[in-house]
A and B are shown apart, each in its own frame.
Chain A
Amino acid sequence: MKSSFPIFLAVFVALGASFGGFVVGGISQLGTEKQTTVLNSTDTYPLQRTGDATLGLQVYRAQGCAACHTTQVRQDGMTCDVVLMGAGKNLRAVQKVLGEIAPADKDLATNQLPKTIFSGVTKEVAGDNSDKLTGAGAKAEIHINATGADISRGWGIRQSVAEDFLWDYPVQLGSLRAGPDLANVGARYTMNLQLQHLYAPQSVDKNSAMPPFKYLFVVRKKINGELSPDALSLPKGIVPDDSEVIPTDDAKNLAAYLVSLRADVPLYDAPFTPTVSAPAEKK
């Protein structure tokens, strides 16, 4: 076969190029990701998940949660707010600048501070205006917000980045959203609510399309008519009054994993200004 070498070469190049692009490229880009610190803080992120949450990831995987849920929040853009934190020594000068850049706020008094002067503007506009305010001796801050459809649905505050998945193997990104995104679900539901939701989703959200995972729980008669320490505290009517619902280890681990899903701190690659930091800086 006289063309066997060109064929071999063609196959080698085709496979080699895709191996290079998908495997080598991917590893050289993200393979060395490691823990970072939360922006403007010395806290390490992300922390290793707790033992039960790590086991819970495997339950999440076994139950096929990723078939209907994603854990990746997307972001379409970013906007800036200019917040006037303090007027400095010369309130008149600051008011004069405000009269030029934001006439509505020109009679600002110090007891109204901190006050948002601009919101939803680009970084350039925010930078220019905050420079004008600082030039007049005021203390102005630029707050950065992540925007996008996922974020306005309340699924997260910022987009998901590689660090969020640092401790997960295998990563449960998901690709279909029959249900909401879970990247930040730990910030929405408490442990008990997670368990109740797994046992009877419609008791938490009556329009939920999620099937109940009753087989992760044991329903049994109450002992002496009293709830066991482990039993779920459910609203009336889900199980008969003389019965109680006990989560199995799988259910507990899964709930622990869900509670550990939190992507709500600012990172270098996903910057934003947390709203809670403003009052803390005021004092």
Chain B
Amino acid sequence: MNHDLSNSKSQTSTHLTVPIWIIALMLTLIFLGGVYFDHHSGWFDAKVYGPYQSAGQLAAYQPLSGEAAIVAHGKQVYEINCGTCHGPDGMGMPGKAPPLAGSEWVNAKGFHRLVEIPQLGLNGTITVKGQPMNFPTGMAAVGSAMSDADLAAILTYIRASWGNNADAVTADDVKAVRASVGGHHAIDGDVELKTIPE
């Protein structure tokens, strides 16, 4: 074998081909390396050290307690249920939904109106940060099917984020408001919203 190799080399090097099994082995090794990398690198995240294997796993192991845990949960549920219209940054989207950041409805002292908006839905002209706005689609009753705890977590999150600063809303608060509204129709803009006590 060695002999053959040196022989052929002395004649011409262009006849030397890499055996197919070496190429296959290389590709397998590269593939396995990629799999290992995917499992263990944490994508070079500076915060992820072994034994944690990804930023997501590290986040799941944060010992949150009290309001911090509720806000973290609220952020998750918000981004799935409300963020599509109001934006992950709470700034709203033109033609889709008004901002929640800095909104007087979100920062209100009481929580009654704020629970009723996602519970019943909202149509018509709405004034946010002093500006009357109109959205052809309005907002459906997106919160009506959520658990008390989830809706409370969302409201607590939006009241504590993006510069907003209002008290937390508890699951009991949500439950109480829900029991009082029953099967009401969607709220009709500013005008009707203002008739609901804060």
Contacts and interface: CB of A to CB of B under 8 A. Distances in A.
Contact of A39 (B49, B51, B63): B63
A29 B51 contact: no
Contacts of A272: 63
Contacts of A270: 49
Determine the interface band of chain A, counting residues with CB < 8 A from chain B.
20 to 34
A123 B64 CA distance: 13
Given A30-B46, A33-B46, A76-B51, A269 B58 contact: yes
A281 B66 CA distance: 10
A273 B52 CA distance: 16
A74 to B, nearest CB: 9
Interface string B46-58: 1111111000001
Contacts of A29: 44, 46
A143 B63 contact: yes
Given A39-B63, A142-B63, A78 B51 contact: yes
A281 B65 contact: yes
Given A77-B51, A269-B48, A40 B61 contact: no
A271 B61 CA distance: 7
Interface in A245-283: 266, 268-273, 281
Contacts of A78: 51-52, 61
A269 B49 contact: yes
B191 interface: no
Contacts of B49: 75, 159, 161, 269-270
B51 A75 contact: yes
A33 B63 CA distance: 22
Contacts of B44: 25, 29
A269 B68 CA distance: 17
Contacts, number: 47
A178 B129 CA distance: 66
Contacts of A40: 63-65, 68
Interface string A35-53: 0000110000000000000
B6 interface: no
A94 interface: no
Secondary structure at the B interface, as helix, strand, loop or mixed, is loop
A162 interface: yes
B62 interface: yes
A273 B51 contact: no
A29 B49 CA distance: 12
Contact of A271 (B46, B62, B68): B62
A123 B46 contact: no
Contacts of B48: 269
Contact of B61 (A32, A123, A141, A161): A123
B47 A268 contact: yes
Nearest to A135: B149
Nearest to B59: A268
B60 interface: yes
B51 A271 contact: no
Contacts of A159: 49
Contacts of A66: none
A144 B65 CA distance: 12
Interface string B62-103: 111100100000000000000000000000000000000000
B135 to A, nearest CB: 37
Interface string A154-189: 000001011000000000000000000000000000
Contacts of B51: 75-78
A162 B48 CA distance: 11
B60 A123 contact: yes
Nearest to A142: B63
Interface in A16-70: 25, 29-30, 32-33, 39-40
B58 A271 contact: yes
Interface of B: 44, 46-52, 58, 60-65, 68
Closest A-B pairs by Cβ, 9 of them: A269-B47, A273-B63, A144-B63, A77-B51, A271-B62, A29-B46, A271-B61, A29-B44, A30-B46
19 contacts: A25-B44, A29-B44, A32-B46, A33-B46, A39-B63, A40-B68, A75-B49, A75-B51, A78-B51, A78-B52, A78-B61, A123-B61, A141-B65, A143-B63, A144-B63, A162-B46, A269-B49, A269-B58, A281-B65
Given A30-B46, A143-B63, A271-B61, 10 more contacts: A25-B44, A29-B46, A40-B64, A40-B68, A78-B52, A123-B60, A141-B65, A162-B46, A270-B49, A281-B65
